[in-house]
Amino acid sequence: MNWGTKIVISFVCFVGLLVTLVYVSVSTDFYLVSDNYYEQELAYEDQIQRMKNVNSLAEKPDFKLLRNEGKAELRFPVSVMQAMEEGSISFFRSADARLDKEFDLVFDESGVQVFDTKKLASGAWKVKIEWKSKGTEYYQELNIVI
């Protein structure tokens, strides 16, 4: 094989690589973090205050992932739970927004709520806990891997 043939083969391989990269980049779906991403970005200063409110609590909520049992447990201190007006927890999957789950906070008498993680796809999740107590809003965010 002479050097001219080698140059043509190299050029054809390079063009094939470029065409493949263009095809992959065009056919990939990109999900925004949320549908109203820009509105949330403008209100992020309020979100920072909600996170500071959680840090100022004497007793904080506790989230545990019990992998062996296939469940997650959210435990609120009874004093915080009793003062709660409303609240929700979201399981946010950044790779696919269709897998997101949201639940209202409904505790048993000891301040525990259990979630079945067997119904959630394996991978990285963000857990977002929001609640309102005595007119003050709180927000806590955790990263988990199922």
Query: Distances from the Cα of 80 to the Cαs of 30, 62, 75, 128, in angstroms?
Result: 39, 12, 10, 17
Give which of 81, 71, 103 is closest to 90, Cα–Cα. 103
pLDDT at 39 > cutoff 80: no
Quote the pTM value.
0.69
Pick the CATH number of 37-145 from 3.10.129.10, 3.40.50.1220, 2.60.40.10, 2.60.120.10: 2.60.40.10
Q: Where do we find the tokens 């301040």?
A: 111
Give which of 91, 87, 67, 76 is closest to 143, Cα–Cα. 91
| For residues 55-60, average pLDDT | 86
Task: Give the pLDDT confidence score for residue 14 in this predicted structure.
Answer: 96
DSSP 8-state symbol, 97:
G
Tokens read off for 70: 């296939």
Which tens digits make up the pLDDT trace of 68-84?
888 989 998 888 888 88
Give the model's confidence band at 31: pLDDT under 50 very low, under 70 low, under 90 confident, else very high: low
| For residues 28-36, average pLDDT | 64
